[in-house]
Amino acid sequence: MPGPLSDALAWAVILLFGAGVLLERYDERVARTTTAGAWVLFALFWLQLIPHFIFEHKSYIEGFLTIVAVPASVYAGWLLYRGRDTLMILSRAVAVMGLVYLPFETIPAIVVGGLTIPAPRQFLIQAVADQTGFLMGLFGYHPEVVMGNESGYPSAFLFTTPEGHRLHFEIVLACTGLGSIAIFAGLIGAVKAPLDRKLRALAISIPTIYALNLARTTFIGITFGNQYLQFFVDEVLFMFGSSDPYMVSWFISDRIISQLLAVFVLVGLTYAVVRELPELLTVIEDVLYMVTKEEYDLHESLDIRVPRADGGERVER
């Protein structure tokens, strides 16, 4: 379950990946063994999160992906240990992802000389909450801003139905798009490519993710707060193991519509980033090999060439 032990395990995983990345410069065999061990530890990290996503978060998509991540991480470590060195790119990506994400997840508020420095997560959550409230206001909805039950600061919206039922919609770290931002930042940071193309790839992905995430939180807030998606109530409650009919709009807007759309958006965004940074195709080829056990040459199939420093092009393997 998420908590101090889970956070400690996450940092241990990222530090071990980081150690493998640093060792790659000095001893490839030791680096490969260290990074393979990091993948096994990564599998343990995902394993302990399965109950959280399935039973507490009630997300079938995230729960399924978490379950898949356990054997996938072990398999990646085994392939790397057996000599598939291209997986070092994906390993570097995981290290960067963790360094982007974990400070927001784990670093608390700090008091220095009587001055309280807010936790990084507070800056991000409150920024998203403020912007979500602004966007809802543009559509004519003005819920009361209240203290969040989970965060402990004003990052929640209180809606009241015509029957007088109070609905609480809170922005938490998972609502900020940080996870997707960390994934793209990690992948872009991991490949060996000129800085200008990396910056263009970041400029394509990060603002797009952030903007679309604000659209998502606004959509969920409006539809849940006003109970606009009360369809197939009994079926939806059964599907998500809930007895609260007021949660149906939440389940449909967030757990079904938003998460399914997110998959398509991330696929499209990945394609756009790959056009700018073709080196990322090597990572996708490795993932496809893990799934199908067949080798792919996406550079050739998609006719995507990697620009050379001299202005020419080459196919990257």
Averaged pLDDT of the chain = 90
Give me the catalytic one of 25, 216, 305, 308: 216
Q: pLDDT value at position 312?
A: 44
Give me the catalytic one of 32, 92, 175, 255: 175
Angle ∠(112,116,120) on CA atoms, nearest 5: 105
Statement: residue 317 has pLDDT above 60: no
Q: pLDDT value at position 18?
A: 94
Q: Is 314 a catalytic residue?
A: no
Q: Categorize the per-residue pLDDT at 315 as very low, low, confident or very high, splitting at 50, 70 and 90.
A: very low
Contacts of 78 (CB under 8 A, 6+ apart): 36
Statement: residue 309 has pLDDT above 70: no
Q: Is 305 a catalytic residue?
A: no
Name the pTM for this structure.
Answer: 0.88
Contacts of 125 (CB under 8 A, 6+ apart): 148, 151, 153, 155, 171, 172, 173, 175, 176
Q: Categorize the per-residue pLDDT at 14 as very low, low, confident or very high, splitting at 50, 70 and 90.
A: very high
Q: Quick one: which of 90, 76, 85 has its CA closest to 290?
A: 76
Q: pLDDT value at position 13?
A: 95
